[in-house]
Structure 1
């Protein structure tokens, strides 16, 4: 258009009215032939559904766009039959990852969808993944990774659950993961066990092989052997905490309960998560169980999950109820405390409160108050 203007300027200075009309017509035609400026912010708001604030943040990632055609093709693909995303979905994924509008439909987006479908994912599951992690969907060639992980998890649902906790599953270098998986299989874990381990302690399998091997060694030192029923649970726990914290909590258990290392190992094998509980909880629960409930340390070692329950909301209130029942000889004096604590709240009320409300007026209210931290008078321990 600038070239046309240069040629017409000399003509314009000496032209007749008729020639001036022709000049204006040519300029108008040239302007019509030039594309209108692509307003990125407006496009993000009107077409993609972003707010003005979101559009202002997202615009810098696609400010190089001169035409809307590529972004239009991307939106047409996402809202088309392959995925069927809604307008709200489009607004969400563009706000999370504006660069997705710069993707190639055939080389990237359709290839990703085909990869998911070839591994048994439904359109709904792919939509769920795209909504949650559009940048991963765009940037990671996921087909090879699905080929590695799917035999372990066995189903798209389980893989999606694990990737919710740990996106590294789909971004990490498989060369770093394969030795860990092979090593864990040598330790007696099945593919299903490893998949469950990835959900419970997702980062463990993606860590450096030396870290995984050290976690297995430390688990074994605490008396849980590879191949045993609790090994996966114990490894998931040890893989999440450093040795210094393990040592500190073992010291609390030995000091408060008088346990030997063998009893510590027994307790850990019964309930590995006791080493995740705080030192204060371990100490307070142990002191209560010994001094107030009167349980022998060996009893607690065999039922170590007792150390993990809330003292104020579970152990104390239930102890008070059973103590009141024993005082009135409404239940056996040797009632197992473990069987009092472990039932659900509904089951506990059904078995230990509701049948005795006539014999002990106000029992339900007293129990409710105790659970709220307000122990009624006459309902002491």
Structure 2
């Protein structure tokens, strides 16, 4: 009993206060205590060398400036989310990993500024596996850096790679995915199972191909990441505009319906009816030809309509069949080109019945080739006068 009591935590106490020779113990116990007394300093020394002691002089903000190349305002803002850091050990490891991964100091700075908590990431559990899997699906280190910068704290989520895998086939390339994510980072942060997959599946049922959906995400970036009920309502409103699912213009009608509410659509329709005297059938025809006219401001619709009818002399039905005319810039496109065409007609250089749409629809380069360059000899100064008109300086004047 007495020997057992002496073998409980007492030996460490005895070692600390009483010489071993003064303690009367059996030989076997004395040998064990001698071994413990020799091992204790070594264990304490090992513990001291393997445990990272807090650096009393460590400053998060200074570290971000000197080691991560952040500006002082960036560092001040970023330091608030990692104020708990007491040592540079993990941040140093993260920076070393990112450098070895092939990222430049500028790319690392952008990532840290976007998500300072990446300096606290466990390399073996999150950072390394995610970067490795993204490389496996074809992304370069620079593209991965851009994704990390765009998505911030979501980059280290477990579901992040699966979302990238889902979107890549739809966009067709990692670069297109990056561009779309830059416009709408919700693509890679929204719930895949509850939001994105149901929406994409529904849009495919409506006749949209994967390429159509990727283009839709350019015109209406947030549509596919909205609640499925909102997407279904947008489809319903697109159909009400007179554009059938599966048609070439349905994607454009859907992007329009997804961008603006029914109240705004009704207001634009009212302007079109008032300015052009259109019936509902003519409105539907115009929208089916160019659904994006409903995104244009009411002022642009009204001014363009008045110019086309009053100045150019077009019929409302003509405009309905070529409704994209309502979207062109009045000052930089419609007015200058109309004046050039009018001048050429007055001088008998082109046919009197030359289609106005064929003059304003082509690109700037094509318009110059067809209506300006060939007539410079007959109308000196035509190019300069047209350029001035496009800049809004003076009406077209030529000799």
The TM-score normalised by the length of structure 1 is: 0.85
Unaligned runs of 5+ in 1: 1-6, 8-31
Among 183, 188, 196, which residue is 1:177 paired with? 196
Shift of 1:35: 6.5
Shift of 1:181: 1.7
Among 27, 37, 40, which residue is 2:56 paired with? 37
Deviations 1:267-309 (A, max 9, x none): 1111111111111111111111111111111111111111111
**Which stretch shows the higher mean deviation, 295-304 or 188-197?**
188-197
Count of residue correspondences: 348
The aligned counterpart of 1:270 is 289
Distance in 2 (alpha carbons) for counterparts of 1:276 and 1:339: 24
The aligned counterpart of 2:217 is 198
Shift of 1:137: 1.8
Q: How does 1:209-248 map to 2 (within 5 A)?
A: 209-248=228-267
Among 130, 139, 151, which residue is 1:121 paired with? 139
Distance in 2 (alpha carbons) for counterparts of 1:42 and 1:148: 40
> Secondary structure, in 3 states, of the residue corresponding to 1:292?
helix
Among 77, 95, 100, which residue is 1:75 paired with? 95
The aligned counterpart of 1:22 is none
Unaligned runs of 5+ in 2: 1-15, 17-47
Among 54, 61, 84, which residue is 1:64 paired with? 84
Distance in 1 (alpha carbons) for counterparts of 2:99 and 2:382: 60
- Taking only aligned residues, the RMSD between alpha carbons, in angstroms, comes to 2.3
The aligned counterpart of 2:106 is 88
- Asked if structure 1 preserves the Cα contact closer than 8 Å seen for 2:133 and 2:161, the reply is yes
Distance in 2 (alpha carbons) for counterparts of 1:256 and 1:60: 56
The aligned counterpart of 1:97 is 115
Shift of 1:361: 2.8
1:155 aligns with 2:173: yes
- Asked if structure 1 preserves the Cα contact closer than 8 Å seen for 2:385 and 2:396, the reply is no
> Secondary structure, in 3 states, of the residue corresponding to 1:145?
helix
Shift of 1:124: 3.1
Shift of 1:144: 2.3
Distance in 2 (alpha carbons) for counterparts of 1:91 and 1:378: 55
Distance in 2 (alpha carbons) for counterparts of 1:233 and 1:286: 22
1:258 aligns with 2:268: no
Deviations 1:112-155 (A, max 9, x none): 11231232323332122234444332346312222332332232
Among 340, 347, 362, which residue is 2:359 paired with? 340
> Secondary structure, in 3 states, of the residue corresponding to 2:312?
coil
